[in-house]
């Protein structure tokens, strides 16, 4: 099963927390293949999470190496099972869009550097320290595993900057 | 709002400006809701002491503009808000499809006549399409500062750097700060 259809909101799976993967088997390897194929097929896509293709398991893939924001600073293809952010630093706002929420973009604040722990396809514990756009993409995909969409994280209307009289 | 083929829908542009108070949006959307209208697209904000609403409103055909106008005339008489209503034509229903870089252009400096005009004329002459713009007069009475922020889509072949270079003579002439930054959304 190669390229899968990307689910769009209001599909309920997109707002559900994905289940942890208990064992890395053929089924999981097939799922990862689908995720990679689906990511490669999406125009400009830099990541896909399993819930986006209808599978409520904690698996996602990220690859920003072909993106202009990420090509100088990346780990190539990241295949992450049961990923977890164990450290985060810095913050920056970027305007994000998502294949599961077409025709909308919004300003989202993310950490500029994250350390993420996950299992690879051999079930081995891995740790990766990512920064810049790769860190943003990882946070976006990991959010999908928690049932969080970028819409839940929009920090401001694009014109909001000038509306505030009281800065906090 | 429910989505259906645009052929079945009548489209209207509705503009409402009122002295600001709580309830303007609720009053307006209540009228639309009772009429069975959808708010398809909208942008509303405070400007000075007023609240301004611009909405694209749709309704299943057949539906007459007069019906909408009547309802809002009643609201106008009741609450004093200013209403303008216009029927949209088919070629106004979707945005112009520009594939170029989206950038944010910030302009600020001592207040003087012509900042908006000179900047936007330069952009228009280079086929830069403004998608969003807001301005504000800040600073003190003695030293008023004008701030202009706009978002625009650059035409094919035009970069953020070349846009900044194009604005450079204007920056010097008006003695204002001009910044151009890419804000093209990232697809994740």
User: pLDDT tens-digit profile of A101-139?
Assistant: 988 888 999 999 999 999 999 999 999 999 999 999 999
Structural domain contains residue A107: yes
Structural domain contains residue B97: no
Contact A48, A39 (CB under 8 A): yes
CA–CA separation, B170 and A117 (whole Å):
51
Domain that holds residue B158: 102-182
Confidence band of B186 (pLDDT split at 50, 70, 90): confident
Of B92, B125, B156, which one is at a domain's C-terminal end? B92
Structural domain contains residue A7: no
Hey, of A35, A105, A133, which one would you mutate to test binding to chain B, going by the most B CBs within 10 A of its CB?
Answer: A105
Q: Quick check: A164 pLDDT over 70?
A: no
Structural domain contains residue A5: no
Structural domain contains residue A115: yes
- Mean of the pLDDT values across residues B36-54? 95
Q: What per-residue confidence (pLDDT) applies to A1?
A: 62
Of B61, B92, B123, which one is at a domain's C-terminal end? B92
Hey, of A97, A107, A134, A156, which one would you mutate to test binding to chain B, going by the most B CBs within 10 A of its CB?
Answer: A97
Looking at per-residue confidence, does A108 or B96 come out higher?
Answer: A108
Q: Quick check: B50 pLDDT over 70?
A: yes
- Mean of the pLDDT values across residues B42-57? 95
Q: Quick check: B11 pLDDT over 50?
A: yes
| ipTM score assigned to the predicted complex | 0.77
CATH number at B35 reads: 3.30.70.260
The Cα angle at residue B170 between residues B164 and B173, in degrees rounded to 5: 140
Q: What per-residue confidence (pLDDT) applies to A61?
A: 98
CA–CA separation, B46 and A99 (whole Å):
32
Structural domain contains residue B187: no
Q: Do A97 and B186 make contact, defined as CB atoms within 8 angstroms?
A: yes
Q: Do B186 and A94 make contact, defined as CB atoms within 8 angstroms?
A: yes
Active site residues of A: 141
Q: How far is B183 from chain A (nearest CA, A)?
A: 7
Token output for A53: 């293709």
- Mean pLDDT of the residues in chain A: 92
Q: A 58-117 residues with CB below 8 A of B?
A: 67, 69, 94-99, 105
Confidence band of A44 (pLDDT split at 50, 70, 90): confident
- Mean of the pLDDT values across residues A136-162? 84
pTM of the model: 0.85
């Amino acid at each position: 099963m190669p390229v899968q259809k990307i689910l769009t909101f209001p599909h309920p799976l997109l707002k559900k927390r994905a289940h942890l993967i208990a064992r890395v088997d053929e089924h999981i390897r097939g799922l990862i293949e689908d995720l990679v194929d689906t990511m490669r097929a999406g125009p400009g896509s830099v990541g896909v999470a399993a819930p986006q293709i209808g599978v409520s398991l904690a698996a996602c893939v990220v690859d920003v190496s072909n993106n202009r924001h990420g090509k100088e600073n990346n780990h190539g293809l990241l295949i992450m099972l049961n990923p977890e952010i164990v450290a985060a630093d810095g913050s920056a706002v970027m305007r994000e869009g998502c294949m599961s929420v077409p025709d909308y973009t919004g300003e989202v604040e993310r950490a500029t550097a994250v350390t993420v722990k996950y299992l690879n396809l051999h079930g081995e514990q891995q740790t990766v320290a990512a920064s810049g756009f790769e860190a943003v993409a990882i946070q976006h995909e990991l959010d999908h595993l928690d049932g969080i969409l970028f819409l839940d994280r929009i920090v401001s209307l694009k014109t909001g900057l000038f509306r505030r009289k009281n800065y906090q | 709002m429910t989505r259906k083929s645009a052929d079945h829908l009548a489209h209207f542009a509705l503009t409402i400006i009122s002295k600001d108070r709580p309830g303007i949006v609720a009053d307006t959307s209540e009228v639309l809701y009772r009429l069975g209208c959808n708010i398809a697209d909208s942008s509303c904000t405070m400007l000075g002491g007023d609240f301004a609403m611009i909405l694209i409103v749709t309704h299943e055909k057949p539906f007459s503009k007069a019906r909408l106008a009547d309802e809002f005339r009643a609201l106008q008489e009741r609450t004093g808000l200013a209403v303008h209503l216009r029927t949209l034509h088919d070629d106004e229903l979707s945005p112009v499809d520009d594939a170029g870089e989206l950038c944010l252009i910030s302009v600020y400096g001592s207040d003087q006549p012509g900042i908006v005009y000179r900047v936007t004329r330069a952009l228009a002459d280079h086929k830069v399409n403004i998608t969003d713009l807001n301005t504000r007069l800040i600073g003190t009475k003695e030293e008023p500062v004008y701030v202009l922020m706009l978002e625009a889509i650059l035409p094919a072949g035009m970069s953020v750097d070349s846009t900044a270079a194009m604005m450079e003579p204007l920056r010097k002439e008006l003695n204002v700060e001009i910044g151009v930054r890419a804000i093209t959304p990232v697809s994740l």
